[in-house]
Structure 1
Amino acid sequence: MFGTDGVRGRTNTHPMTAELAMRLAAAAGRFFRRDQQEHRVVIGKDTRLSGYMLENALTAGFTSTGMNVFLLGPVPTPAVGFLTRSMRADVGVMISASHNPAEDNGIKFFGPDGFKLSDDAETEIERLMEAGVSLAHPQRIGRAKRIDDSGSRYVEYVKTTFPRQFRLDGLRIVVDCANGAAHRVGPSILWELGADVIPVGTSPNGLNINDKCGSTHPDLAAAKVLETRADVGLCLDGDADRLILIDQNGQRVDGDQIMGLIASRWKEDGRLAGDTLVTTVMSNLGLERFLESRGIAIERTKVGDRYVVERMRQGGFNLGGEQSGHIVMTDHATTGDGLVAALQVLAAMVETGARASDLLRVFTPIPQVLHNVRYASGTEPLDRDSVRQAIADGEKKLGTSGRLLIRKSGTEPLIRVMGEAEDQDTLHSVLDTICRAVEHTN
């Protein structure tokens, strides 16, 4: 039931139903409530209409097993990680489908340390849910309370990650909050640090989250940057755990360039633990070559910020992330945090006086192409001989001058077909052949 980032799906369709959410919360409550002392859980959400339904269902499940519930309301995913630790909770929950459309939703769990749960913990919760859990005695049922200032607490924390000697005075910044969880806290943080803030994507109605805005649709912010002659644009996703930038020329800057900038600056300052960046197999070869030229090692994991964080914790590293814009800095946060990452970039702009276009083009990427091919439920395209043969033929054709990465999405019924190569004609030919082979399995 758990994917690469919690449980996710189309609302009111298995597994994303109120009934399952209540059972899942009861199982999680039993998993974390191992004695008779009082235990607590914090629950945050983004701005999806279905968040109300799932919030109530989760509350019912947790309180039925004796957990006290603290409702945070709409806050970014990293705020849940932060407040789980700050409020000494046993578990944190974020109701969000991140960058997915409004009709989807998801449930992410955080442990008492503020980090996302391990695969083993999720497996045990799923086992408890299937077996059925014993409910609390009527006198031990939990209580629920709404925390009205959760956003303000997070705002104050995020500002502490920005160097005290700097201000954002004189910078005109477009911030696109994707009509999501950061629609209030995002502009507030920037304004309180002195920026001239131009907000977009800050009018959620429950149905417009990520709709032609945010990190997956940066054209809105790019147009606003050009229209207002802004210095930089910040594009968050629905739960604000990822960041895509727009330079003053309206050009998109992805997570690889952001990680390259932060890693190189931290290396110069002696702040980069182990002189290593942890990223995924999706990150561009150009980033790897740039880092090596700066004496920085790169470690790759499978796709998913949770796997990046696991490797960071295992190796004692403090910087990692994904090309999609998840930037994880464990000195500051337990998960990807788009606003904390943005402040690192803005601090570099203030300190150097450089324009965004100059600062954020730290390496020349190897041409990379990604296709998403939807497949029919119940099929396994990557197990088909025809698809395997197409992939093998493609790898042979590219040789040592390029690479392929073919994988299933962890959150949607998609096969992600990615390739890198200097020869664009050959690359497109190879990818088109593989995509057709996948499509023919439907």
Structure 2
Amino acid sequence: MTRSYFGTDGIRGRTNQAPMTADVAMKVGQAAGAHFLRGDHRHRVVIGKDTRLSGYMMESALVAGFTSVGMDVIMVGPMPTPGVAMLTTSMRADLGVMISASHNPFYDNGIKLFGPDGYKLSDEDEIAIEGLLLEPPHLVPSDQIGRARRVEDVKGRYIHDAKMTFPADMRLDGMKIVIDCANGAAYQVAPSALWELGADVVALGVEPDGTNINDNCGSTYPQTLCERVVEEGAALGLALDGDADRLIVVDERGTIVDGDQLMALIASDWNQRGKLKGGAVVATVMSNLGLERFLEDAGLSLLRARVGDRHVLEMMRARGCNVGGEQSGHLILTDYATTGDGLIAGLQILAALVASGKPASEVLHLFEPYPQLLKNVRYNGGDPLAEESVKAAIADGEARLSATGRVLIRKSGTEPLIRVMAEGEDEGLIEAVVDDICSAVEDAA
């Protein structure tokens, strides 16, 4: 079945434009609710959101949809995506919903769905829900309409669960930490968790007004954090995105540390402590070759999944791994969470930092990244990658890089773009290989 609504991470789009309208949200609530009405118990759904202005509209529409098919609704207000996943399981809910467009601007929004196990829905569940969207809603009799209630104490529950992942014999006393919450879902819980662990917290991006989420702040714009860390003389800076499932770190010198370096640190730390499972880290095809070489030197493997934290998690579960993520900062630690969690990942970085007794700049840069270049080529119809001239250019590039690097060519999942990436030891050669392949794609397009 061709998908009309679900993408790589739920449903997402510009609000008040299809598919991100109140009408569609209500229908999604009706379809997802009907799909998860299983058994004769009283069914419930947990709904959380970030701080976007449109969150009120989408929340109300979803509540109408779920209650109309007989589901009770628990509204938890602004809450990180991993917090909604956690609450779905702890509240014994049949379904969890996060209203967020993650790192996108405020005018976008999205709907992410979690099953009763706290994991994002399978392809089969999403396809089944899309099928129900095409049918009349399964409305229940008047006396079976669901009830809705707002629960106010969930922030404390999430803070407690996050703190429990930090070693019990450690504290953050005397450590100044700057955290940028992107004016998003974690603007209350993340600074509070760090403060409760003893840190001297400088909080940025904690004044959401409905339209400033991810606006020149957070993990997609860490420049302000870099400046503030140096200005404050802080030990570390943490940057989250709008729904707090992504983390970027800044060391005490103001240098940005991406997800590849963070995975290297957590994997090596956990491996030394006997906590790492599967003898490997799961990343994506975009992760730097330097990470792969670093892990190999430590006797570990790097397994590469397709781009998207959902695909990373699927491979982690299939291979029995407990550390995975993306270069962009989605870090998945399945010992503690069923999805990416920026706060929990940050606490693991802080634990390794405290244990080392060294400055962040010495701990967080474990390998030298290989030069990496990515260019996009737009095309209009057809399949440029099927052209023999393009295949020949790709094969030639792979041969030129040989054992010193790699070439990655893929289509964008959201735009008519061919993404051409190469990395290796020789920066000049990489640039030449990428330019040659891009030229071939442009000619074919």
TM-score range, shorter chain: over 0.9
Q: Is the 8 A contact 2:384 2:444 kept in 1?
A: no
Q: Is the 8 A contact 2:385 2:441 kept in 1?
A: no
Q: Look up the match of 1:242.
A: 246
Q: Look up the match of 1:429.
A: 432
Which of these residues, 43, 50, 59, is aligned with residue 55 of structure 1? Answer: 59
Could you tell me how far 1:274 is from its partner in structure 2? 2.1
Q: Is the 8 A contact 2:96 2:115 kept in 1?
A: yes
Could you tell me how far 1:354 is from its partner in structure 2? 1.0
Could you tell me how far 1:167 is from its partner in structure 2? 0.6
Which of these residues, 393, 401, 405, is aligned with residue 404 of structure 2? Answer: 401
Q: Look up the match of 2:193.
A: 189
1:146 aligns with 2:150: yes
Name the SS for the 1:273 alignment partner.
Answer: coil
Q: Look up the match of 2:170.
A: 166
Q: Is the 8 A contact 1:382 1:388 kept in 2?
A: no
Q: Look up the match of 2:85.
A: 81
Counterpart Cα distance in 1 of 2:56 and 2:336 = 30
1:326 aligns with 2:330: yes
Counterpart Cα distance in 1 of 2:396 and 2:212 = 42
1:220-235 equivalences under 5 Å are: 220-235=224-239
Counterpart Cα distance in 1 of 2:142 and 2:351 = 53
Q: Look up the match of 1:277.
A: 281
Could you tell me how far 1:55 is from its partner in structure 2? 0.9
Which of these residues, 106, 112, 117, is aligned with residue 108 of structure 1? Answer: 112
1:351 aligns with 2:350: no
Name the SS for the 2:134 alignment partner.
Answer: helix
Could you tell me how far 1:411 is from its partner in structure 2? 5.2
Deviations 1:184-214 (CA, angstroms, capped at 9, x unpaired)? 1111111111111111111111111111111
Q: Is the 8 A contact 2:289 2:424 kept in 1?
A: no
Q: Which moved more, 1:294-303 or 1:387-396?
A: 387-396
Instruction: Specify the code of the residue in structure 2 equivalent to 1:402.
Output: G
Q: Is the 8 A contact 2:289 2:405 kept in 1?
A: no
Instruction: Specify the code of the residue in structure 1 equivalent to 2:93.
Output: A
Could you tell me how far 1:408 is from its partner in structure 2? 3.4
Counterpart Cα distance in 2 of 1:415 and 1:201 = 35
Counterpart Cα distance in 1 of 2:8 and 2:63 = 24
Identity across the alignment (%): 60
Q: Which moved more, 1:105-114 or 1:392-401?
A: 392-401
Name the SS for the 2:366 alignment partner.
Answer: coil
Counterpart Cα distance in 2 of 1:375 and 1:227 = 45
Q: Which moved more, 1:304-313 or 1:386-395?
A: 386-395
Which of these residues, 410, 420, 445, is aligned with residue 417 of structure 1? Answer: 420
Counterpart Cα distance in 2 of 1:216 and 1:415 = 23
Counterpart Cα distance in 2 of 1:412 and 1:176 = 30
Q: Look up the match of 1:70.
A: 74
Counterpart Cα distance in 2 of 1:225 and 1:166 = 23
Q: Look up the match of 2:267.
A: 263
Q: Is the 8 A contact 1:381 1:387 kept in 2?
A: no
Instruction: Specify the code of the residue in structure 1 equivalent to 2:200.
Output: D
Could you tell me how far 1:3 is from its partner in structure 2? 1.3
Counterpart Cα distance in 2 of 1:397 and 1:15 = 45
Could you tell me how far 1:261 is from its partner in structure 2? 0.7
TM-score (norm 1): 0.94
Q: Is the 8 A contact 2:184 2:244 kept in 1?
A: yes
Q: Is the 8 A contact 1:181 1:238 kept in 2?
A: yes
1:288 aligns with 2:292: yes
Q: Is the 8 A contact 1:81 1:115 kept in 2?
A: yes
1:307-322 equivalences under 5 Å are: 307-322=311-326
Instruction: Specify the code of the residue in structure 2 equivalent to 1:64.
Output: S
The gaps in structure 2 that reach 5 residues or longer are none
Q: Look up the match of 1:340.
A: 344
Counterpart Cα distance in 2 of 1:74 and 1:434 = 45
Counterpart Cα distance in 2 of 1:290 and 1:101 = 35
Q: Is the 8 A contact 1:9 1:411 kept in 2?
A: no
Instruction: Specify the code of the residue in structure 2 equivalent to 1:424.
Output: E
Number of residue equivalences: 440
Name the SS for the 1:131 alignment partner.
Answer: coil
Name the SS for the 2:410 alignment partner.
Answer: strand
Counterpart Cα distance in 2 of 1:436 and 1:188 = 51
Q: Look up the match of 1:16.
A: 20
Name the SS for the 2:340 alignment partner.
Answer: coil
Could you tell me how far 1:289 is from its partner in structure 2? 1.1
CA RMSD of aligned residues (A): 2.0
Q: Look up the match of 2:9.
A: 5
Q: Look up the match of 2:100.
A: 96
Deviations 1:71-90 (CA, angstroms, capped at 9, x unpaired)? 11111000011000010000
Instruction: Specify the code of the residue in structure 2 equivalent to 1:278.
Output: V
The verdict on how the C-alpha distance between 1:269 and 1:178 changes in structure 2, with shifts beyond 3 A counting, is same
The gaps in structure 1 that reach 5 residues or longer are none
Name the SS for the 1:126 alignment partner.
Answer: helix
The verdict on how the C-alpha distance between 1:52 and 1:319 changes in structure 2, with shifts beyond 3 A counting, is same
Counterpart Cα distance in 2 of 1:183 and 1:413 = 36
The verdict on how the C-alpha distance between 1:104 and 1:436 changes in structure 2, with shifts beyond 3 A counting, is farther
The verdict on how the C-alpha distance between 1:441 and 1:59 changes in structure 2, with shifts beyond 3 A counting, is farther
